[in-house]
C-alpha cells in the first residue's frame, strides 16, 4: 500500500488568496489551499484514503453548491505522520471570493488501522458518510487574500472500536481558516512605461509587472515591511518606494505611483 508522507509547507511566492480594501469584498477570486495535521493517537498507523476535496458555497437554505478543488494530491495518508505541528498539502484551487460553509472529503476504500502489535485491520466508513465526510467551515474569503484551511484530525477520537476486532472511522476534525498573506496594488503613471516591479524584504524578493493601463496587483505577500522598486527599460524612469507595510489579511493600495 502506498502512503503519503509529509510535504513541506511552502511559503516563498505564495499563489493562494489576497484581499481588496473593501471591508466585505466578495468579488474576484481567491485560491484555497487545504492542509491536514493531526493530534496523536494510540495506534501505530491510522491510514485514510483521500480521493477528492470539495467545498460548498453558502447554501442559503438550498442544496449545497459543491466545488471540487482541482489541484488534488490523492492517496492514502497516515494521520500519525502529521502530528506535533507537521502538516501536508491535500488540495488547492482558485475559487470565487465569498462565503464558504462546508468542506467535504471524498474517501476511497483503502482506510486501515495498524495496531501497536502490528495487526492491520480495515477502517469501516459508516453508510452515512458514503457521500463524503462533511465538515463545517463558515468562513468568508476576501478577494485576493491568501488563506490556508487546516484540517486538524484527532486520530484517537476518529477511530471507534466496534467490538470483535472491528473499527469504524468517524472523523473528528477541527477546521481552521487563516489568512496568511496579503498583497500590494496601485497604478503607475505614465502607463506606457510598463515597469517591472520588485517587492523586496530582508529575506525575499517578489516580482510583478504593471499592465497596459498601468495597474498592478502583486499577490501572496507575507505580512511585513517592504521596499518597492520600479524598473523601466533603459533605467530612465526608475522609482523606489520605501516602508510599504503589508498585513496578512488585506491588499495594500499605494494609489498612483508617478514615474518621473
Closest to 104 in 3D by CA, of 136, 74, 128 = 136
Q: Which regions in the chain score pLDDT beneath 50? A: 1-2, 4-26, 61
> What is the pLDDT at residue 5?
40
With contact defined as beta carbons under 8 Å apart, do 189 and 143 qualify? Answer: no
> What is the pLDDT at residue 200?
95
Q: What angle do CA 25, 134, 108 make, to 5 degrees?
A: 125
Sign of the CA dihedral 233, 239, 242, 247?
Answer: negative
The answer to whether residues 192 and 244 belong to one domain is: yes
Grid cell listed for 13: 511566492
The answer to whether residues 223 and 213 belong to one domain is: yes
> What is the pLDDT at residue 120?
94
> What is the pLDDT at residue 180?
81
> What is the pLDDT at residue 24?
39
- Looking at the structure of the chain, the number of domains it has is 2
The answer to whether residues 119 and 167 belong to one domain is: yes
> What is the pLDDT at residue 186?
95
Domain that holds residue 193: 182-258
Q: What is the pLDDT of residues 140-149, one digit of tens each?
A: 888 888 888 9
Distances (CA, A) of 21 to 2, 26, 28, 182, 218: 45, 11, 13, 11, 14
Domain end among 180, 213, 241: 180
Q: What is the pTM of this model?
A: 0.70
Please provide the size of the chain in residues: 260
> What is the pLDDT at residue 80?
86
Write the CB contacts of 153 (distance below 8 Å, at least 6 apart in sequence): 36, 37, 38, 39, 79, 82, 171, 172, 173
The answer to whether residues 113 and 201 belong to one domain is: no
The enclosing domain of 149 has a CATH number of 2.60.40
Sheet holding 239-246, edge to edge: 205-209, 196-200, 224-231, 239-246
Q: What is the pLDDT of residues 200-253, one digit of tens each?
A: 998 889 999 899 999 999 988 989 999 999 998 877 889 999 999 998 888 899
Amino acid at each position: 500500500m502506498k502512503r503519503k508522507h509529509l510535504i513541506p509547507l511552502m511559503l516563498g511566492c505564495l499563489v493562494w488568496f489576497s484581499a481588496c480594501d473593501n471591508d466585505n469584498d466578495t468579488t474576484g477570486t481567491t485560491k484555497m489551499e487545504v492542509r491536514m495535521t493531526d493530534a496523536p493517537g494510540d495506534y501505530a498507523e491510522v491510514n485514510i484514503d483521500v480521493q477528492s476535496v470539495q467545498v460548498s458555497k453558502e447554501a442559503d437554505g438550498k442544496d449545497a453548491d459543491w466545488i471540487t478543488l482541482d489541484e488534488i494530491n490523492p492517496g492514502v495518508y497516515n494521520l500519525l505522520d502529521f502530528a506535533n505541528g507537521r502538516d501536508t498539502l491535500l488540495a488547492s484551487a482558485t475559487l470565487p471570493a465569498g462565503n464558504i460553509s462546508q468542506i467535504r472529503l471524498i474517501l476511497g476504500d483503502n482506510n486501515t488501522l495498524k495496531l501497536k502489535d502490528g495487526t492491520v485491520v480495515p477502517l469501516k466508513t459508516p453508510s452515512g458518510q458514503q457521500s463524503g465526510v462533511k465538515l463545517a467551515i463558515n468562513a468568508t474569503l476576501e478577494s485576493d487574500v491568501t488563506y490556508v484551511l487546516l484540517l486538524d484530525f484527532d486520530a484517537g477520537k476518529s477511530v471507534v472500536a466496534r467490538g470483535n476486532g472491528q473499527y469504524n472511522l468517524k472523523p473528528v476534525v477541527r477546521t481552521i481558516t487563516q489568512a496568511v498573506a496579503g498583497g500590494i496594488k496601485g497604478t503607475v503613471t505614465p502607463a506606457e512605461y510598463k515597469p517591472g516591479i520588485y517587492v523586496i524584504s530582508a529575506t525575499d524578493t517578489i516580482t510583478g509587472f504593471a499592465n497596459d493601463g498601468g495597474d498592478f496587483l502583486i499577490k501572496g505577500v507575507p505580512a511585513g515591511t517592504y521596499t518597492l522598486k520600479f524598473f523601466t527599460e533603459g533605467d530612465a524612469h526608475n522609482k523606489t518606494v520605501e516602508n510599504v507595510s503589508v498585513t496578512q489579511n488585506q491588499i495594500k493600495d499605494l494609489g498612483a505611483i508617478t514615474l518621473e
